[in-house]
Amino acid sequence: MPSIRSLADSLPNHQQKLISVENNQQPDELSLDKINPSSKSGVELPSEDELQTLRRVPGSVNLAAYLIALVELVERFSYYGSTVVFTNFIQRPLPPGSVTGAGGLQSGALNMGQRASTGITTFNSFWVYVCPLFGAYVADAHLGRYNTIIISVIIALIGHLLLVVCALPSIIVKPNSSLACFLCAIIIMGIGTGGFKPNISPLVAEQSEREGTSKPSVRTLKSGERVVVDPALTAERIYLYFYLMINVGALVGQIGMVYAEKYVGYWLAFLLPTVLFLLCPLVLIFGKRLYVLRPPTGSVFARVLRLWRFAISKRWRARRHSSPSVGFWDAVKPTSLEKAGEKKPSWMKFDDQWVDEVRRGFEACRVFLWFPLYWITYNQMNNNLTSQAATMNTHGLPNDILSNLDPLALIILLPLCDMVFYPALRRAGINFSPIKKITAGFFTGSLAMISAAVTQHYIYKGSSCGRFANKDGCEPVSISVWVQTPSYLLLAISEILASVTGLEYAFTLAPKNMRSLVMSLFLFQSAIASAIGEAFNALSEDPLLVWNYGTMALIAFLAGIGFYFSHRALDAEHSELLKIGEGLFRSTSAIFEGPTSTLSPTREKESQETKKLGR
């Protein structure tokens, strides 16, 4: 974490600072006091030899990125703090004599059963990851990321307020009215979340892109060692700590709200996240003058689809006429058309480099297509593992408290990955590439489901109700709920390897004027997973739960094998893809080029050259 002095120093001039880590600074860390003065005057680009031989290190995280990560922390506190109690709210009945949902052995409200609970929570997961497609389009094409986030926060706030209404004592005792209000709330919250999620992730990583820091550079440490500051590793670091903030918010929100649910009632479990959510717009507005903000560039997505269709048609014509083979994307570069004597289409207002950016983005999207098979495994934590805990000896704890083992493990493991594990692998010359990380994420997710299946087997074996342990009136088994720990720990490790790496991949490989859209496509895989999960909903009740977890384990394992053999060639190409710079793209009013479009208008004026091009 940054020191107070370094944070204060970054306020007056709003320039990027390399934030030092107090005490025991890791060798891979960079800070102003560890760099020789001679290297501060300008950015030194590495030679090809230096790229191959010098040690690569991440840059530091600046204040603007921390402020945006704080917004994510608060938003995730509110979201997870609310959704963690959804399973009990839907599945279980109001305790006898209760008008708040609290007071019984297990809290409840709507009494709709486990299948309905799993179905509604799965729909919620589907909805909040479909909506980012629209939120990303609005941001990239019309409003920009910052404005879209502000509007989305207001919409989500309305959804939070409706959650409070559905849990009021006068409403919760009327199941039909409470259910209708609850469903309206999650639909509106989903729309707000859909505008927030695909834009906050690129925005936080873009804060490292200023003053020439978007390309590898050479720095000399105080020790005399010359190193390459790698923007890809900087993005990796930012997303590790961004994910850390997500899980700090999730942990505090979930622990607090399950106790509010158990001892006070659902109205408080929904009210506290709503109140804290009000901090989001305040932090966003306060920090705006510090942020790197990219302007919207018009309908980029439509241009990409046209380019893709154009490339397909050229490939088809080439095969029909047995023309010499040209690369799929190379054939539609403006210079290739000129060399072939073909007239450029009127919509082709970009250069060769932007086509390379689009190709790189398509490579990222091909990787994302495997993620639904990972997320259906992960989603077991949001419903079935919570229900499993209710059939075990919870030692007086709320059954939904155990899900907090996942964010707790992440809070511990994420800094260790940044400061210990990943640097150690780099020093040892081991290339733990994104493809290998994601593959390992599939396998650890599979192990988590094997652990859950074994636990469920022994629950059935020890239950007085046999293979119907969730039956009303059935006493919990004597098995301690802490037996679920391996499942949650393995899921946490799989998140670091698959989910965090996926965020990093979406940011680093997307065209810069399509980052929200590519991020939304990554998030959309969760929606697909939720839709697939609905097909497995029949397994989400007694006596089929062992089959449920076993099926998820097999799917994740086979998907990991298929993913690796489909994309292992990308390991060799990854470094070359990252070298592709930002191309020229003419929107309806301007050409957006390079770093001039990454700076907030309140911080930096556009270059005169770019203005002339725009006119």
The domain that holds 405 is classified in CATH as: 1.20.1250.20
Is the pLDDT assigned to residue 37 strictly greater than 60? Answer: no
DSSP 8-state secondary structure symbol assigned to residue 591 = E
Q: In the structure, what pLDDT confidence band is assigned to residue 340 with cuts at 50, 70 and 90?
A: confident
Q: Is the peptide bond before 543 cis (omega within 30 degrees of 0)?
A: yes
Q: In the structure, what pLDDT confidence band is assigned to residue 214 with cuts at 50, 70 and 90?
A: low
Distance CA 183, CA 127 (A): 11
Residue 340 DSSP SS3: coil
Is the pLDDT assigned to residue 25 strictly greater than 60? Answer: no
255 neighbors 404 (Cβ within 8 angstroms): yes
Residue 35 has what pLDDT? 36
- Mean local confidence (pLDDT), 270-282: 95
Residue 44 counted as domain residue: no
Residue 263 counted as domain residue: yes
Residue 318 counted as domain residue: no
- Mean local confidence (pLDDT), 479-487: 92
- Model pTM? 0.75
Residue 337 counted as domain residue: no
Q: Which residues contact 412 (CB under 8 A, 6 or more apart)?
A: none
Residue 74 has what pLDDT? 96
Is the pLDDT assigned to residue 304 strictly greater than 50? Answer: yes
Residue 393 DSSP SS3: strand
277 neighbors 75 (Cβ within 8 angstroms): yes
Q: In what order do the strands lie in the sheet with 55-57?
A: 55-57, 226-229, 217-220
259 neighbors 398 (Cβ within 8 angstroms): yes
Q: How many domains does the chain have?
A: 1
Q: In the structure, what pLDDT confidence band is assigned to residue 592 with cuts at 50, 70 and 90?
A: very low
Is the pLDDT assigned to residue 30 strictly greater than 70? Answer: no
% residues pLDDT > 70 (the chain): 84
Residue 288 counted as domain residue: yes
Residue 8 has what pLDDT? 36
Residue 217 is encoded by which pair of tokens?
A: 């550079």
Residue 577 has what pLDDT? 67
Indicate the average pLDDT of the chain: 82
Task: Give me the residues paired with residue 252 across strands.
Answer: none
- Using CB atoms within 10 Å of the CB of residue 220, give its burial: 0 to 12 exposed, 13 to 18 middle, 19+ buried: middle
Residue type, 144: G
Residue type, 503: L
245 neighbors 73 (Cβ within 8 angstroms): yes
Residue 15 counted as domain residue: no
Q: Which of 219, 202, 210 is nearest to 16 (CA)?
A: 210
Residue 14 counted as domain residue: no
Is the pLDDT assigned to residue 138 strictly greater than 70? Answer: yes
521 neighbors 365 (Cβ within 8 angstroms): yes
Is the pLDDT assigned to residue 33 strictly greater than 80? Answer: no
Residue 416 is encoded by which pair of tokens?
A: 């260790």
Q: Which residues contact 56 (CB under 8 A, 6 or more apart)?
A: 216, 227, 228, 229, 230, 233, 426
Is the pLDDT assigned to residue 582 strictly greater than 80? Answer: no
Q: Which of 422, 493, 439, 411 is nearest to 230 (CA)?
A: 422
Residue 38 has what pLDDT? 37
Residue 265 is encoded by which pair of tokens?
A: 């009632």
Distance CA 378, CA 602 (A): 41
Distance CA 125, CA 205 (A): 25
Residue 167 is part of which domain span?
63-297+371-579
Distance CA 581, CA 512 (A): 10
Residue 335 is encoded by which pair of tokens?
A: 């210079």
Residue 439 has what pLDDT? 96
Is the pLDDT assigned to residue 571 strictly greater than 60? Answer: yes
Q: In the structure, what pLDDT confidence band is assigned to residue 584 with cuts at 50, 70 and 90?
A: low
Residue 543 counted as domain residue: yes
Mark out the alpha helices in 279-397 (DSSP H runs).
279-286, 300-320, 334-339, 352-368, 371-378, 384-390
